[in-house]
Structures are given as structure tokens and as C-alpha cells.
Amino acid sequence: MLAPGTFLELLQQQGIRFFSGVPDSLLKPFLSCVGEQLDSTAHVIAANEGAAIALAAGHHLATGEVALVYMQNSGLGNAVNPLLSLTDASVYAIPLLLLIGWRGEPGLEDEPQHLTQGRVTPALLEALEIPYRVLSGGDPHAAQHALEAIAEARQRSAPSALLVRRDTFGDYAPQAVRDNHPGTGELTREAALERVLAHTDGNEILVATTGMAARELFELRTRRAEDHARDFLTVGSMGHAGQIALGIARARPHRQVVCLDGDGALLMHLGSLVINAASACRNYKHILLNNGSHDSVGGQPTAGFDVDFPALAQAAGYRWTAVAAHATDIEQCLQELLASHGPALLEIRLTRGHREDLGRPTVSPLENKRALMRLLQ
């Protein structure tokens, strides 16, 4: 396995001094090292992968240096436009190094949302005309692959990529405890979801964002012996649960639709707040589960606690907004949210983390879709 600290030092020796991206679980040890050893002048966790490409481009324009952009392979979709219309050699010719976690690699077991993405990732990089090398912890030439990729980015004045296999990086032990999450709430996300379910009457449709929220919702329904058909579990498509919920709300105006969103997901496509508000859907209810972190991929910090989400939603045109910063606030806020005329948003501030024994849905995405459609139609 590659030692994260050694790999970071190698990159810095090659003149890479700026890092940006969206966290990925396969890259967690390396990103933990980057997060601890680099300050905000050298490392930015971006709102989405395309924004990270743009940050890297701006850094190159100002310094002439090659920057590193990290992401899960699912994030390539967000990055395609700036990769082709900004950094490509035929446009602005901006060199950068992509570090891409290869979820769904063929031959390895993974979650359904990663399988097709993993299979087509090499072909997608080829279609984008981005040369790539596979990085593996068991490969004695891994460091050489990185050096070649950096050299090729400079030579081509365009992006090159390192496609990172599972278990490439060894563990990273933080040298110090750094609290990047001031102002965290009192409840876990799962405890907040329990209260949400306790306030629903059985007629609402719940759309849960990708990651832990969907997994916890599924287990809570099972524990309560309730029907899973009323929930759409968005296992992929980070940042789009709100628009999925809006599509349902528009088509079924007499049924209340509740989006269970995350801070990292909402920040990724923040413009959706404006579209939600412009819809004027009275049945659209938006619950933001804000724990200030990318909880599903390693707990890296987001800007969630630096943002006044209710104020943003109100400025966009939401008809009702509130924040529940303490456990004692949640009951009353949930009652008011569900009784209000939407679009309405309730932010619930939470503590980080999740149960270690948290399971995954035992129904497939296709089964989830079919059950919900039978209910709605």
C-alpha cells in the first residue's frame, strides 16, 4: 500500500502545491493526510467536482503550477464540461492531475450505483482524451506512474489522471485532533430521522439523499415495521434528491413530498433552491440534515455550518423557513413545517457520525422504484 504522507510528499516535490476536490471513500487515508497537513491556502474541499476543476485552473493561471483535483469516479459527470471546454489543450491548455477513486471496478463487489460507472470509467476517460494510469497499492511502480502522469500533464498542457483502485492507500493516523466542525448539533442524523417519521401520518412521500440518510431511513422503517414503498432512496446522483422530490411534488400536488437532504449534497447544486422556490409547490417540504461533514465518505468537513441555509432559501423565495439548532426545537419545527404551505425548508443541525453497524437497504434500486411508482400511480 502507498503511505499517504509519502505520496503527498512526492506530489509536493513535483511542484503540486494546490489540492481541491470532493471527498471519496477510496481516497480517505490520503485525503485525511492532505486535510491535516495542508491549510486553506493549499487545500479546498469544493462544492462539486466541476468547481474543483475551475479552482485548479485559476491556480494555474495565477502561478503556472499544476494542481491536483480529487474525486470519486461518479464525479466525472460533474467535471466533463470544464474538462472539455476549459482545461482541454485545444481551449486554454491547462495542465492538472486528476486523482480518481475507482468505485465499481469490474471484478470487485460494490453497490449497484457504482457498477456501471466503474465499468465505463476507463472508456469515459478515453472518450475525454485524458490519458490515465491505474494506481494500485500492490504495484511497485505506483510512484513512477504518478511521476509520469504529472510529466504528461505538463508536456500536453492538459489534464492527466490516476485511477485509484480499492486499498491503494495505507491507513493514516492523524498527528493531532483538529475540530473543523464548530457549532455541531445535539442529535445524530438517525435520531432526527426518527422524529421526522414520528411526525408523518403515512401519506407523505420521502425522498432521501444519497449516503447515510437513505440507509438510516431504510433501517428505521424496518424497525418500525412500516412500508418502504413511500420512500425513494437516492443511492447515487449526489445533490439531486431535491429535484427528484420536486418532480414528484409537481406531478402529485395533492400528496405531501418531503426531501431529506444533506449539507454536502445541497451545497453541490445550490441553485436548485431557486428552482424549488419558483415552482411554488405548496406540497414541497425540504428538510436539511446538516452535520457539517461528508459523512458517507470519511467525515471531511463541508461549509455547512458557515452558511445560513434558511436565509438563502428565504431569499430564493421559500414561503417558510426555520432552523432547529437544539433537540428541544425539533418537535415544534417539524409540526410547523408539515403544516406550512411550501416550498418550505427546515434545517436541523446535527452531530457528526453514524452507527458502525449501520446496514444497507435490502431492496434493489429497481425494486424501490417499482414499489414507489405502484403507490403513486
Instruction: Report pTM.
Output: 0.89
3-state SS assignment for residue 372: helix
Which residues, 6+ apart, have CB-to-CB distance to 161 below 8 Å? Answer: 97, 98, 99, 100, 125, 130, 131, 132, 133, 149
- pLDDT given for residue 368 in this prediction: 94
Strand 19-21, strand 67-72: pairing: parallel
Q: Which helix (H) or strand (E) holds 12?
A: helix 4-13
Q: Which amino acid is at 80?
A: V
Q: Give the span between the Cα atoms of 144 and 139, in whole angstroms.
A: 10
Q: Which helix (H) or strand (E) holds 329?
A: helix 327-339
In this model, does residue 226 exceed pLDDT 80? Answer: yes
Q: What number is the average pLDDT over the span 190-211?
A: 91
Which of 276, 288, 287, 214 has the alpha carbon at shortest distance from 250? Answer: 276
DSSP string, 19-54: EEE---GGGHHHHHHHHHH--TTTEEE-SSHHHHHH
3-state SS assignment for residue 84: helix
Determine the distance from the C-alpha atom of residue 131 to the mean position of all C-alpha atoms in its chain, rounded to a whole number: 25
Q: Give the span between the Cα atoms of 203 and 209, in whole angstroms.
A: 19
Do 4-164 and 189-376 share a fold?
A: yes
**Cβ–Cβ < 8 Å for 28, 297:** yes
Domain 189-376 in CATH 3.40.50.170? The answer is: no
In this model, does residue 177 exceed pLDDT 60? Answer: no
- pLDDT given for residue 353 in this prediction: 82
- pLDDT given for residue 129 in this prediction: 97
3-state SS assignment for residue 59: helix
Please give the mean pLDDT across all residues of the chain.
92
Q: What is the DSSP letter of 163?
A: E
DSSP string, 188-246: -HHHHHHHHHHH--S--EEEEPTTHHHHHHHHHHHHTT--GGGEEE--S-TT-HHHHHH
In this model, does residue 181 exceed pLDDT 80? Answer: no
**pLDDT tens-place string over residues 254-280:** 999 999 999 999 999 999 999 999 999
In this model, does residue 180 exceed pLDDT 50? Answer: no
Q: What number is the average pLDDT over the span 24-50?
A: 94
- pLDDT given for residue 247 in this prediction: 96
**pLDDT tens-place string over residues 92-110:** 999 999 999 999 999 998 8
Determine the distance from the C-alpha atom of residue 6 to the mean position of all C-alpha atoms in its chain, rounded to a whole number: 27
DSSP string, 247-315: HHHHH-TTS-EEEEEEHHHHHHTTTHHHHHHHHT-TTEEEEEEE-SEEGGGT-EE-SGGGS-HHHHHHH
Q: What number is the average pLDDT over the span 306-314?
A: 95
In this model, does residue 225 exceed pLDDT 90? Answer: no
**Cβ–Cβ < 8 Å for 128, 81:** no
In this structure, the dihedral spanned by the alpha carbons of residues 216, 222, 227 and 231, taken in order and rounded to 10 degrees, is: 10
Architecture category of domain 4-164 in CATH: 3-Layer(aba) Sandwich (3.40)
Which residues, 6+ apart, have CB-to-CB distance to 129 below 8 Å? Answer: 88
Query: Which of the four pLDDT bands, split at 50, 70 and 90, describes residue 301?
Result: confident
| Position with higher pLDDT, 346 vs 174 | 346
Query: Which of the four pLDDT bands, split at 50, 70 and 90, describes residue 249?
Result: very high
Domain boundaries in the chain?
4-164, 189-376
Query: Which of the four pLDDT bands, split at 50, 70 and 90, describes residue 296?
Result: confident
- pLDDT given for residue 325 in this prediction: 87
Q: Give the span between the Cα atoms of 253 and 343, in whole angstroms.
A: 12
Q: What is the DSSP letter of 73?
A: G
Burial of 41 (0-12, 13-18, 19+ CB in 10 A): exposed
Q: What number is the average pLDDT over the span 305-327?
A: 94
